[in-house]
Structure 1
């Protein structure tokens, strides 16, 4: 399931909205670029869960919430980051 969100201190109002808190802690941050946002999201998710986490000896995934965000966008490129919460093994 995917959500579109914004950072806010406002109270959530309405049945079609949900507040998700991201706890303080350690996160693996993966950066990347792609031609489209869907391609960027797939690349970042793939890198985090199929390359970085399986080969990491210090940290393990704790089950979310995860965040994938766009940090810049132009007519030809989208840049972004994946934030994946982890704990020490």
Structure 2
């Protein structure tokens, strides 16, 4: 049984750099490799540090969103500042969110673990709510005892 909560959140916006995921949506190994390659690239070229420098908090968002029938993946932060080179401002609606908490040895492990639990267990067990699309995100909130910790936020509606 998955450990999750349903939480009311105010609307918020994440500014991010993104990439189109080309793997089939059922090819989890392919998707995970594309995401890992993207995160490595934005760490190496400084884009992640640029985002962190303008963030209003220490949270790093890994956002998944369907845009124009394309699977998009973004690295982002909450900020009041705009960057001309940023790919997208991602709007998250006010409302209820399914929230799964977890930790991992790396950022990628945290994100994969949270996504697996959220979509593979929690959404199936949450009988009163449904995910009807829109952006979802893993939120890396920090490190503690050598582990990365964070949450997955998925906007849901009551059935």
Shorter-chain TM range is 0.7 to 0.9
Q: Secondary structure at the match of 1:4?
A: strand
Aligned position for 1:27: 97
Give 4+ residue runs of structure 1 displaced > 6 Å after superposition: none
Query: 1:11 Cα shift?
Result: 3.9
Return the structure number with greater helix share.
Answer: 2
Which runs of 5 or more structure 2 residues have no equivalent in the other structure? 1-71
1-structure distance, mates of 2:94, 2:83: 21
Query: 1:10 Cα shift?
Result: 3.0
Query: 1:21 Cα shift?
Result: 0.7
Of 111, 118, 133, the residue aligned with 1:63 is 133
The range that moved more, 18-27 or 68-77, is 68-77
Question: Does the CA contact (< 8 Å) of 1:12 and 1:19 recur in 2?
Answer: no
* Alignment of 1:13 onto 2:79: no
1:35-71 per-position Cα deviation (integer Å, ceiling 9, x unaligned): 1111110110011111010111100002121011111
TM-score, normalised by the number of residues in structure 1: 0.88
1-structure distance, mates of 2:146, 2:139: 17
TM-score, normalised by the number of residues in structure 2: 0.51
Higher relative contact order (CA 8 A, sep 6+): 1
1-structure distance, mates of 2:81, 2:115: 29
Q: Secondary structure at the match of 1:63?
A: coil
1-structure distance, mates of 2:113, 2:92: 22
